C-alpha cells in the first residue's frame, strides 16, 4: 500500500519501511508521529483521492533524527559596483521512518 502525504508544505510518496527527509518538525528523536494530511492512497487495484484529504487512513512513523543538510554557499555581487556578499545556509530536516500505512 502506498500513500501520498503532505508535511512541511511538500508532498511525499510513502510506503511501509520508507525513510524520508522532511522539513523540520518540532518532535523529539525517537518519538512516534501520525500524519493526518493524506492526499491519496493506492491499494492493489484501488485508488482513493481526497478532497483535499482522505479520511480513514492512518500513516504513522518514527522520528530517527533531527539534523541539518550540507552547507550551500550563496554569493551575491553586482558588476562594477564593488558589491560582494558571501553567505552560507544549512537547511534543517527531520529523518522519518514510515512504520504503517493502513486503511481503517
- Render pLDDT for 22-44 as a digit per residue (tens, 0 to 9): 999 999 999 999 999 999 999 98
Dist. CA 91–CA 68, nearest whole Å: 6
In this prediction, residues 1-26 reach a mean pLDDT of 96
- For residue 104, the model assigns a pLDDT of 83
Average of per-residue pLDDT values in the chain: 95
In this prediction, residues 77-103 reach a mean pLDDT of 97
Q: Torsions phi, psi of 61, nearest 5?
A: -150, 180
Closest CA to 38 of 12, 75, 68: 12
Show the cell assigned to 35.
500524519
* Distances from the Cα of 9 to the Cα of 37, 64, 65, 66, 87, angstroms: 11, 20, 20, 18, 25
- For residue 49, the model assigns a pLDDT of 95
Beta bridge partners of 97: 19, 62
- The neighbour count for residue 85, using CB atoms within 10 Å, is 9
- For residue 91, the model assigns a pLDDT of 97
In this prediction, residues 56-68 reach a mean pLDDT of 96
| Contact by Cβ (8 Å): 18, 97 | yes
Closest CA to 60 of 28, 21, 31: 31
Displacement of CA 90 from its chain's centroid (Å): 16
Amino acid at each position: 500500500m502506498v500513500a501520498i502525504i503532505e508535511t512541511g508544505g511538500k508532498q511525499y510518496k510513502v510506503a511501509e519501511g520508507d525513510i524520508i527527509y522532511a522539513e523540520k518538525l518540532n518532535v523529539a528523536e525517537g518519538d512516534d508521529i501520525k500524519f493526518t494530511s493524506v492526499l491519496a492512497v493506492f491499494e492493489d487495484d484501488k485508488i482513493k483521492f481526497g478532497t483535499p484529504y482522505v479520511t480513514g487512513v492512518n500513516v504513522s512513523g518514527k522520528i530517527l533524527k533531527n539534523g541539518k543538510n550540507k552547507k550551500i554557499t550563496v554569493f551575491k555581487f553586482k558588476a562594477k559596483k564593488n558589491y560582494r556578499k558571501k553567505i552560507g545556509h544549512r537547511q534543517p530536516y527531520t529523518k522519518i521512518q514510515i512504520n504503517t500505512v493502513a486503511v481503517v
